[in-house]
Amino acid sequence: MTTAALKEKRRQGRWNALLLAPSGLWYLMLLILPLIVILVYSVGERAPTGGYQAGFTFDNYLNIGARWTAFKNTLLLAPTGTLICLLAGYPLAYFLAVKANPRTRLFLLILVVVPFWTSFLIRTYAWMFILGGRGLPHLLELIGIEGVRFINTPFAVLVGIVYAYLPLMVFPIFVSLEKLDKRLLEASDDLGASPFATFRQITLPLSAPGMITGCMLVFILLMGEYLIPQMLGGGKVFFIGNALVDLFLQSLNWPFGSACAMALVFIMMVTVGLYLKATRATGGRDVSLM
């Protein structure tokens, strides 16, 4: 290699380092360091008046079973919510990307985003009233179905979850379906495949990256969900997020809270590991988080 080329390469290296510095610093300060703090806290002890005091014990981890219900609720409702979002979001994304008139498509896409213009808190409050005694149950009473209870049940939490997270599922699937080469569909048709066979063998596999991305986006955020179970579950449907808030703010048991948080991080890492494996199986490079 000539000296000039070497110099050029070094210069580029410096540029790269400079351009990466802000994001690198960001991750160091706001991800790596806090994680280390949580790890250190998780093996510490609760100070007598609450908070953290130095120590080295695994008791906090051994005690995680005391929050089993919270983990169980989260691990049950987060995947269920993700699945319903997928089943409801796919047809919508398919319609938007394939069937919708290209001239109205942008308008329809905007409609999907419009709810985000109102505060999420206000929209969840609205659901409290829709699902509360004066809302849907009252309407059901009018047609003779009595004694139905929605609010403060897992069902109410699921409704809130699907309502809030559906757009996050629709967009990645929409993008992958929109990129789909329509000539493949024509070729399949020409070769005598039924519409269903075409969908199953071409559209579905090619939109898999979008589906996986959507599922990951929804699932990871759901695992940390706090507000929806708090407001629509009324303290009766408890997520890990709620348990964490309680441990830090009510019980002032920061070490135990840190241990639960680490357990959550661990579950996430396993999930993301499975995700990477699944994407490699479907031809990884097409997958992107939008």
Positions touching other proteins (CB under 8 A) are: 46, 48-51, 66-67, 69-70, 128-129, 132-134, 149, 151-152, 234-236, 238, 242-243, 246-253
> Are 90 and 211 contacting, i.e. CB atoms less than 8 angstroms apart?
yes
- Closest to other proteins by CB, 188 or 230: 230
- Closest to other proteins by CB, 243 or 262: 243
What is the three-class DSSP state of 45?
strand
| Tokens standing for residue 212 | 């996986």
Among 110, 39, 29, 3, CA closest to 254: 39
> Are 214 and 89 contacting, i.e. CB atoms less than 8 angstroms apart?
yes
- Closest to other proteins by CB, 139 or 272: 139
Q: What is the spatial distance between Cα 58 and Cα 256, in angstroms, rounded to a whole number?
A: 10
Among 257, 267, 240, CA closest to 41: 257
- Closest to other proteins by CB, 79 or 137: 137
Which residue shows structure tokens 């290296």? Answer: 13
Q: Closest separation between CB of residue 262 and other proteins, Å? A: 18
Q: Quote the Cα angle for 196-202-203, to 5°.
A: 80
Element (H, E) at 148: none
Q: What is the spatial distance between Cα 169 and Cα 172, in angstroms, rounded to a whole number?
A: 6
Residues paired with residue 45 on neighbouring β-strands, in sequence order: 53
